[in-house]
């Protein structure tokens, strides 16, 4: 069964708002797309809809935090991170305000609406900013826990929430921690590192590889910044090969973040699965994922290639 993680976000935020008076939401005409209809019904005076005005969306969040509230600023990730990038940098990260930025419908989920609506640069833009935590949950369980962790964490944090259907990759015993990768599968021949909607594809790739005699470790690297250096170094030392997979450009995203650690601390051969440096053609998300090789087959192929070349 596939889940839309926005639902997990919305139900958790509503639960938090019932528990805590200081939780508020800020939207930019994005109540429907952020699934905030229920929040508005239950807490109408705690939802601020600034209209189609992203700079004010983020600035208002910073001001609400200054007033002692905990704002969840929710908008399509493409507009939130690109249009309001300077507000994210100055008003939130540099000012160290307790703002929770929620980038909705990230990656290529908007499909045929085209590259204006795709958000495949947000990791690169945001992880370059100091004092900003960047998290991309993989499934509803991790989304629920990440939303709660964001509320408890005192400081700036960005959550990247997809609208694309994903299966569960974590059980109820899973405990999300900011900055910690989760091991979805143990293995010693290669490590597949993914997050968000690519995590389950990495797991599928590992299944495929097992049938061909390669035991793959699968790491869900939900937190892109600060990245779990320890897990990456262990993966490099213990498996000798790394393949990353992300719904993001390969310029500056998860693969780059992993490579920065690998080349400095434990150099091993790597491959990166992601969007190459080009704007997407027209097509639905499934088509675009195939087009750019964001598939379990391609992840498995890259792992086999590494095993072949670096036997």
Q: Which residues bind other proteins (CB under 8 A)?
A: 24, 26, 45-46, 48, 50-51, 53, 55-56, 58-69, 71, 86-87, 90-91, 94-97
Comparing CB distances to other proteins, the nearer of 73 and 232 is 73
Let me know: does 94 contact 122? Beta carbons within 8 Å: no
Comparing CB distances to other proteins, the nearer of 52 and 113 is 52
Comparing CB distances to other proteins, the nearer of 68 and 171 is 68
Which of 126, 129, 146, 124 shows the shortest CA–CA distance to 137?
A: 146
Comparing CB distances to other proteins, the nearer of 33 and 55 is 55
CB of 47 to other proteins, least distance (A): 11
CB of 53 to other proteins, least distance (A): 4
CB of 48 to other proteins, least distance (A): 6
Query: Could you check whether the bond before residue 60 is cis, i.e. omega within 30 degrees of 0?
Result: no
CB of 18 to other proteins, least distance (A): 16
In angstroms, the CA 137 to CA 123 distance is: 13
227: left (phi > 0), else alpha (psi -120 to 50), else beta? beta
Comparing CB distances to other proteins, the nearer of 84 and 124 is 84
**Residues with Cβ within 8 Å of residue 147, at least 6 apart in sequence:** 8, 9, 12, 13, 16, 159
CB of 24 to other proteins, least distance (A): 7
CB of 73 to other proteins, least distance (A): 10
| Rg (alpha carbons) of the chain, rounded to whole number | 19
Which stretches within the chain are classed as H helix? 5-19, 37-42, 54-66, 77-83, 85-87, 122-127, 140-152, 199-210, 229-239, 254-265, 285-291, 296-309
Let me know: does 146 contact 135? Beta carbons within 8 Å: yes
Comparing CB distances to other proteins, the nearer of 48 and 287 is 48
Comparing CB distances to other proteins, the nearer of 76 and 273 is 76
In angstroms, the CA 303 to CA 311 distance is: 11
In angstroms, the CA 153 to CA 46 distance is: 20
| Cβ-based neighbour number of residue 202 at 10 Å | 31
3-state secondary structure of 47: strand
Query: Which residue's entry shows tokens 């694309």?
Result: 164
CB of 163 to other proteins, least distance (A): 26
Comparing CB distances to other proteins, the nearer of 16 and 24 is 24
CB of 246 to other proteins, least distance (A): 30
**Structure tokens of 59?**
């600035």
């Amino acid at each position: 069964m596939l889940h839309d993680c926005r639902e997990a976000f919305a139900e958790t935020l509503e639960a938090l708002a019932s528990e805590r008076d200081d939780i508020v939401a800020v939207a930019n005409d994005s109540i429907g797309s952020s699934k905030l209809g229920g929040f508005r019904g239950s807490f109408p005076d705690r939802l601020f809809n600034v209209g189609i005005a992203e700079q004010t969306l983020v600035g208002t969040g910073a001001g609400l935090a200054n007033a002692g509230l905990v704002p969840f600023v929710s908008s399509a990730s493409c507009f939130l991170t690109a249009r309001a990038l300077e507000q994210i940098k100055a008003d939130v990260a540099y000012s160290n305000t307790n703002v929770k930025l929620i980038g909705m419908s990230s990656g290529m989920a908007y499909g045929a609406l085209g590259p204006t609506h795709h958000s495949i640069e947000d990791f690169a833009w945001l992880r370059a900013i100091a004092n900003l935590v960047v998290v991309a949950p993989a499934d509803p369980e991790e989304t629920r826990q990440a939303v709660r962790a964001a509320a408890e964490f005192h400081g700036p944090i960005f959550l990247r929430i997809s609208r694309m259907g994903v299966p569960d990759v974590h059980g109820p015993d899973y405990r999300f921690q900011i900055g910690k990768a989760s091991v979805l599968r143990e293995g010693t021949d290669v490590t597949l590192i993914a997050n968000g909607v690519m995590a389950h594809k990495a797991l599928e790739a590992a299944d495929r590889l097992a049938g061909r005699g390669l035991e793959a470790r699968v790491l869900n690297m939900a937190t892109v910044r600060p990245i779990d250096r320890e897990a990456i170094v262990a993966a490099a030392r213990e498996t000798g090969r790394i393949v990353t997979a992300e719904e993001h450009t390969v310029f500056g995203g998860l693969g780059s973040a992993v490579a920065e650690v690998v080349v400095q601390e434990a150099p091993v051969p790597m491959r990166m699965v992601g969007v190459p440096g080009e704007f997407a053609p027209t097509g639905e998300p499934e088509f675009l994922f195939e087009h750019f090789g964001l598939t379990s087959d391609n992840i498995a192929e890259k792992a086999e290639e590494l095993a072949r070349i670096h036997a």
